[in-house]
Amino acid sequence: MRLQTADGLSLEAEWARPADALATAVLCHPHPKYGGTMRSIVISALFEALPKRAVGCLRFNFRGVEGSDGSYTEGRDEPLDVAAALDAAVEAAVAGPLALIGWSFGADIALAIDDPRITGWVGIAPPLRFRPERAYAAVGDDPRPKLLVLAANDEFRAPAEIEAETSAWTSTRIETVPGASHFFVGRTERVVTLVGDFVDGLSASP
């Protein structure tokens, strides 16, 4: 499918919508300049596993990636891409909560999107470097639930640094995956479990 951004770009995207969907997840991929696409390992693992847990998944390629129009803007305009994905998710009228989930660069962009339609956020190995600090503060101060999944052996940002930077965030749970690198090779099953349980919790909330 294609998504249309507010600044006129057409983005490549894909749905996985189980008939019994109880929730929806929008998935944001890693850095466009370092091989990140909507088919990257963690995003693909979630896209395959979450529909089996009755969670519809929408994944997309940021501007300039594979079949998407435009070019990489260092995180400045990529929030428009996420907004287009959220629009498509809402228009699909899938029942239940809406989770915004990102990995690495995608986590940084997701955690700067303070959209009232979002029920909860998941940031997987977020470097917290690609958006202004005030953008993260808006989501950090928001009472809606957030899950940060960190890699114990992250090569780009130590978990302790992320924990310190987000220590004042509200409604935020942090899980560190033992033995994991930033890419979670051999640890994706644990990531899927943590994310799936979080989205289940959103569905169970009143």
Strand pairing class (23-28; 98-103): parallel
Q: Directed axis angle between helix 41-49 and helix 188-204, to 10°?
A: 50
Q: Give the mean model confidence (pLDDT) for residues 41-57.
A: 97
Tell me the C-alpha to C-alpha distance, in Å, between residue 112 and each of 41, 49, 96, 136, 149.
Answer: 23, 25, 22, 5, 16
Give the structural domain span for 76: 2-204
pLDDT value at 205 more than 80: no
Q: What percent of the chain has pLDDT over 70?
A: 99
CB-CB contact of 60 with 68 (8 Å): yes
Cα–Cα dist 186/102, whole Å: 19
Q: Which pLDDT score is estimated for 95?
A: 72
The pLDDT of residue 55 is above 90: yes
**pLDDT tens, position by position, 142-169:** 999 999 999 999 999 999 999 999 999 9
Given this model, what pLDDT does residue 93 score? 72
**Can you give the pTM of this predicted structure?**
0.96
> Could you tell me the CATH number of the domain that includes residue 195?
3.40.50.1820
Residue 190 predicted with pLDDT over 80 = yes
The amino acid present at 34, given as its one-letter code, is: Y
Mean pLDDT over each residue of the chain, to the nearest integer: 95
CA distance 177 to 28: 20
Q: Is the pLDDT of residue 133 over 70?
A: yes
Kindly tell me the sign of the dihedral angle through the C-alpha atoms of 21, 149, 125, 122.
positive
Predicted local distance difference test score (pLDDT) of residue 94 = 74
74: Cβ contacts below 8 Å, ≥ 6 apart: 130
Give the tens place of pLDDT for each residue, 116-132: 999 999 999 999 998 88
pLDDT at position 114 is 95
> How many Å apart are CA 183 and CA 14, to the nearest integer?
22
Residues 6+ apart with CB under 8 A from 25: 46, 50, 55, 56, 57, 58, 98, 99, 100, 101, 195, 199
Number of domains making up the chain: 1
Residue 41 has pLDDT above 80, yes or no: yes
pLDDT confidence of residue 206: 60
Q: Report the alpha-carbon distance of residue 122 to residue 25 in Å, rounded.
A: 10
- In contact, 109 and 34? CB cutoff 8 Å: no
